[in-house]
Structure 1
Amino acid sequence: MDQREIDEQVRAYYGGVFDEGARLTTRSAQGPLEHRRTQELIAAHIDEGRVLDVGGGTGVHARSLQERGFDVILIDPVPEHVAAAAASGVASQIGDARSLPFPDGSFDAVLMLGPLYHLASATDRVRALNEARRVTRPGGSVFAAALSRYIAFGANVLGRPVRADAAMTALWEQGVPTGNGRFPAGHFHTAEELADEVSDAGLEVLAVHGVEGPGGLALEQIAADRADLMDAALALARATSAEPGIRDFSTHLLAVARVR
């Protein structure tokens, strides 16, 4: 799919079809697990400063950082997201990860917890990562999330006959979305591929983590108030998050990087 079509679908999907704020809070137990573990990984590397949340949605992560004392600015291509984040007290504006409207070295850290999902070409993804690096001060941190290719493949084959066709081959070998469903996917990563792209943008890769761990996918079918199951899944995620192979069984991957 042409990137312009994906960009239009992103605005339509998040603007009127899907509630991104609920996904991280009340939709299922997976969302709160993803939010909590992501915040833990961020907290392990930064404890103060000015943060840019690129593709920050309705501001769920931004508000958590503000509560910890960070100065946060959110940028997102979806007007409805920007309005919701602003209404909740987050400084927010419309923008594109591939062209950030900020001077070099403006932030102590940059979060990219969504843009790479929706960019089809490696050129665009590295461009966005380059922008994150540019606006982060030397020694600052960049956190870049991706969707796991293994989980995407599993979602297409579990509980149904395996289709040995060109679309499934392209998904498995290249991370190309199959086009099934309404989600405007651009690319699915392996942990190694994510690390390579972050490195190609001139960043020092410290680690790539599987965010939710192997239990995260199951929690998508569980109510958000099941704290007992979330605690168990969280313990498993913490124990396996950086293990090669196992980390790819998380729905979301998170690269932690530093500006040289």
Structure 2
Amino acid sequence: MTASRQQQIDARIQAYYGEVFDEHVRLTTRSAQGPLEFRRTQEIIRAHVPVGRVLDVGGGAGNHARALMDAGYEVELIDPVPRHVKQAGEAGVPAAVGDARDLPFEDDSFDAVIMLGPLYHLASRDDRSQALAEARRVLRIGGVLIAAGLSRYIAFGKASLGSPVPSPIPGDWLTLIADGAPGSGMRFPAGHFHTAEELEAEVTAAGLTVREVLGVEGPGGLFLETGPDAGEQVREAALVLARAASAVPGIRDFSAHLVAVAHVP
């Protein structure tokens, strides 16, 4: 029997993060965008999540979890990749292998759930809905969800800008911009690319009240990811721009990562 699309993505996730790509350095030294993404994400989390019990779902190597623990939060992490769980454990983060669609925790047991990776690795709306439903289930009333998506417009820009436009327009480009479906040639095991409005709609449909949807890195983030390191002055300018543009409809989609902030009513 042929594996389903999601089973194929899940296998690629294991190979990509387990053998090819070091998630730990992405937020630290891989590019100038990584520290910008990390700093902005931490700012957003701490602005909305009071100190308490936090579940980091798909928490990777534990960069965010460790920083929150150092700030006084009680954090547990699950991730589907054993390499990530090992790295997080070595950093002192309580971590276990797990799946966002089937959380091994009791109802109403966390003050906040951080979900910074799972939604963009899940291809179908049903799977993303299941992951969001699980997050809501383990949250207490009033508990906060921080859920990230990858921007569809940044993905389209990376695919289409900087080279001649083919004629006819490639079918992969059309399905990406219309439906958020990744192209077949991507090495990164993407499942879906969101618009800010779509991310808000999916979180709302899971029974949470969305406070805001924010762009994380801002319009300067892609330059920091792909351009030469232009120094501290440019990095600080990108941070200022990211903060200023984070909530502006349309402009927020020029961030590589979008974050929905919501709570259980």
TM range (shorter): over 0.9
Check conservation: 1:26, 1:224, Cα contact below 8 A: no
Percentage of pairs with the same residue? 62
1:199 pairs, out of 195, 198, 204, with: 204
Rounded Cα–Cα distance in structure 1 between residues aligned with 2:227 and 2:179: 31
Aligned residue runs from structure 1 range 127-146, under 5 A: 127-146=130-149
Residue 208 of structure 1 deviates from its aligned partner by 0.3
Counterpart of 1:14?
17
SS at match of 1:44: helix
Q: How far apart, CA to CA, are the structure 2 residues paired with 1:221 and 1:150?
A: 16
CA distance in 2, matches of 1:209, 1:22: 24
**Residue type of the partner of 1:256?**
V
| Number of aligned positions between the proteins | 260
In 2, the alpha carbon distance for the partners of 1:248 and 1:46 equals 23
Aligned letter for 1:190? Answer: T
Structure 1 position 36, deviation (Å): 0.2
Amino acid of the structure 2 residue aligned with 1:55:
G
The letter of the residue matching 1:186 is: G
- Confirm whether residue 239 of structure 1 aligns to residue 254 of structure 2: no
CA contact (8 A) 1:29 1:222 kept: no
| 1:225 CA displacement | 9.2
Aligned to 1:38: 41
Alignment counterpart, residue 257 of structure 1, candidates 252, 259, 262: 262
Match of 2:126 among 112, 123, 126: 123
The CA deviation string for residues 21-59 of structure 1, in whole angstroms up to 9 with x for no partner, is 100000011000000000001111123100000000000
Distance 2:76 2:207 in 1: 23
Query: What is the 5 A alignment of 1:21-170?
Result: 21-163=24-166, 164-170=169-175
| Residue 160 of structure 1: how far off its partner (Å) | 1.5
Task: Give the TM-score of the pair, scaled to structure 2.
Answer: 0.96
Deviation at 1:204, TM superposition (A): 0.4
Equivalent AA in structure 2 for residue 204 of structure 1? T
In structure 2, distance between residues paired with 1:12 and 1:115: 16
Deviation at 1:230, TM superposition (A): 1.8
* 1:224 to 1:52, Cα distance in 2 relative to 1, 3 A: farther
User: CA–CA distance in 1 between the matches of 2:18 and 2:80?
Assistant: 10
RMSD over aligned Cα atoms: 1.2
Question: Residues 27, 225 of structure 1: CA spacing in aligned structure 2 closer, same or farther, 3 A cutoff?
Answer: farther
Are the equivalent residues in 2 in contact too, given 1:111–1:142 (CA < 8 A)? yes
Amino acid paired to 1:201? A
Aligned mates of 1:37, 1:48 — CA distance in 2: 18
The alpha-carbon distance between structure 1 residues 134 and 35, as it changes in their structure 2 partners (threshold 3 A), is: same
Aligned equivalent of 1:180: 185
* Cα displacement string for residues 184-220 of structure 1 (whole angstroms, at most 9, x for unaligned residues): 0000000000000000111100000000000000000
Q: C-alpha deviations, 1:95-133, integer Å up to 9, x for none?
A: 000000000111100000000111000110011011111
Aligned equivalents of 2:189, 2:231: Cα separation in 1 = 29
Uncovered stretches (5+) of structure 2, i.e. residues with no partner: none
- The structure-2 alpha-carbon separation of the partners of 1:223 and 1:36, relative to structure 1 and needing over 3 Å to count, comes to farther
Asked if the contact 1:175–1:188 (Cα under 8 Å) also holds between the matched residues in 2, the reply is yes
> Aligned letter for 2:34?
G
Q: Secondary structure at the match of 1:220?
A: helix
Q: Distance in 2 between matches of 1:159 and 1:236?
A: 23
Residue deviations 1:116-157 (CA, integer Å, cap 9, x gap): 111000110011011111101100100000000000000111
User: What runs of 5+ residues in structure 1 fail to find an aligned partner?
Assistant: none
CA separation in 2, counterparts of 1:23 and 1:229? 19
SS in 1 for 2:143: strand
